[in-house]
Each structure stands twice: as C-alpha cells, then as structure tokens.
Structure 1
Amino acid sequence: MAHIPINHPLRPLYRALSGLVGLYILIFGIIGFIRTSGMDFFANHGDWVLGLLTNPAFSVLSIIAGLIVLAGALIGRNLFVALNLVGGFIFLIAGIVMLLLLRTDANFLSFSMVNCVVSFIFGMLFLAAGLYGKVGPTEDEEAEAAFRTRQPTTRHATNH
C-alpha cells in the first residue's frame, strides 16, 4: 500500500458509520431469521425484512457479518481497518455474484435488486472506513503526510 492516511480526522465518523451499518446488518439478520424460520434454508423466495429480501441462509450470514463488523467497530484500532477492508471487498463481490444470479434458480440467498444495491453501498462504506481508519504513532503520520505531499521529513537528531 503506497500510502493510507494515518490518524485521519474523520476516523471516528467512519468507525461510527461502520458500527451503525454492522448493527443494522445484525438486527436485519435476527429479524430475518425469526420471520423465515419455516422456509427451506436456501429458498429462492424470501420475506421482506427492513427493506431487504431474505431467506434463512442469508439471515444467518447477516448475523455473522453484523457481529464481525460491530465487533471491529467496538474494538477499533487497526483490527477495525483490516475487517472493514476485507468486509468491503466481500460485500462488493457478493453484490456482483448475486446480481449475476438474480433471476435464476441459483439465487440461493434470495437476493433482489435492492439487496445488490445495498450490498454495493455497504461495501463502499466499509472500504472507505478501512482506508481512513488506520491509526499509528505521530512519526508514522508525519512520514505518510510528507510522502503524500512529497516533502522531506524533518527528523530531530538527539545527541547523547
């Protein structure tokens, strides 16, 4: 990675947004699992929950994803960065794959077009949170800022 901002001033905002999305995904998964408990696990038809279509399999995946994203937002530090970068790519890839399977019998997560769009939005938010959430010491922050602006770093030599 050439340069990712360290200690970005909007880091708390991205962490809060990621946590809220993780909470939404968790609540969606719980309600979805309760409402679809009588269906086949990979049913092609689902039930609408909080604006998205779901089946039991997608509800369980949502519960797991929501817990992981929420835990990352609560723990913070650079674990938050790693989880959001990986989660962002997973949500984008899931959106693309489910878009390809949308009107087929292979739509095993019962996705709709709305689900695909929301998956893309969440994926982009997680990627942004991951890219701007990195934390580190002040020296690393100054070196990254100097690299970004192409200015030499100023190091204070200490004589002992």
Structure 2
Amino acid sequence: MLSHLPTNHHLRPLYRLLALVSGGYVLAFGIIGLMQTSGAELFDQASTTTVLGLRTNPAFAYASIGVGILVLLSALVGRNLDFYVYSLVGLGFQVVGMFMLAFLRTDANYLNFSVATCVVSLVIGLVLFTAGLYSRVGARAAH
C-alpha cells in the first residue's frame, strides 16, 4: 500500500509547514491550558476554562503539550519520521475527536471536550494525516 503514496512530492514543504503550524497550535494550547488550569483536578469535567476558544483541563493540557512536542520534533527531524508521526498522530486526533463526540454528555468525557473541541480535533487530524500522505522522501531518480 505504501507504494501508492507519493514520494518527494513537490508540495512537501507546504505540508510540512502546515504540520508545524498545527503542532505549534497544539503545543501553545497545552501550555496556556496548563497555566489556566493550574490547581484544578487532573480530569476536571466541571471546569468551563477555555483556551484559544476550546475547553480544557490539566490532563488535556498535558496531552496537548506531549503531542505538540512530538509533531514539532518530527517536523524538524524529517527523514520519513515525519511521515509516520503525522499519519499516526493525525489518525489519533480523528479517533479521539470521534470518541469524545460520542461521550460529550457522559461521565466518560475525561478530557472536558466540547463540540468545538471535537471539530478542532478532527480538523487538526485531517491536516496532519494529509501532511503525512505527502511527506515521504526517497532516493532521487537519476536523469
């Protein structure tokens, strides 16, 4: 299946930039969220604390910091590591967004998601997964 994905795509720098912006947003959200929710319980579901328009709690802030650092480091390293990280993290964002959408009004909403948070999670997942599809590099063909 990997043979059907493009290698050395000419728009790879654009997708890498989009992944960097997404990773930076997630990291900034996590850092600001951690500062805003300091002193709250780790999985606080009653909080209405919003950061960058999205609800958060300390657990979600810590997770966002970890994922943001992972995406940014993989973008800086490159060498097909970014292909795997973008693809897996993008799918992860989409899966988490769908699960949290299903559990919004239940006690299982451990990350204090709202509908807006689900939508942003799905969009970031789509951006990262798309960046992963076009970020593979390979040996240059000799002319």
* Cross-structure match for 2:29: 28
* Cross-structure match for 1:106: 108
Identify which of 32, 53, 56 aligns with 1:54: 56
For the pair 1:126 / 2:111, whether they are aligned, the reply is no
Structure 1, unaligned stretches of length 5 or more? 143-155
SS of 2:4's partner is coil
Root-mean-square deviation (Å)? 1.4
Identify which of 84, 87, 98 aligns with 1:85: 87
Further displaced range: 81-90 or 43-52 = 43-52
In structure 1, how many angstroms separate the alpha carbons of the residues matched to 2:137 and 2:16? 12
Q: CA deviation at 1:7?
A: 0.5
| TM-score (ref. length: structure 1) | 0.85
Structure 2, unaligned stretches of length 5 or more? none
- Map of 1:129-144 to 2, 5 A cutoff? 129-139=131-141
* Cross-structure match for 2:38: 37
In structure 2, how many angstroms separate the alpha carbons of the residues matched to 1:15 and 1:61? 22
* Overall identity of the aligned pairs, in %: 50
In structure 1, how many angstroms separate the alpha carbons of the residues matched to 2:132 and 2:107? 35
Say if 2:19 and 2:128, in contact at 8 Å, map to a contact too: yes
- Listed one character per residue, the Cα deviations across residues 116-158 of structure 1 (whole Å, up to 9, x for unaligned) are 001110111111100001001123xx9xxxxxxxxxxxxx9xx
- Listed one character per residue, the Cα deviations across residues 74-110 of structure 1 (whole Å, up to 9, x for unaligned) are 1112000000000011001000110011011211000
Q: CA deviation at 1:3?
A: 0.8
Further displaced range: 90-99 or 38-47 = 38-47
In structure 2, how many angstroms separate the alpha carbons of the residues matched to 1:37 and 1:11? 39
In structure 2, how many angstroms separate the alpha carbons of the residues matched to 1:135 and 1:45? 46
SS of 1:89's partner is helix
| TM-score (ref. length: structure 2) | 0.94
SS of 1:68's partner is helix
The higher radius of gyration belongs to 1
SS of 1:77's partner is coil
- Map of 1:149-160 to 2, 5 A cutoff? none
* Cross-structure match for 1:10: 11
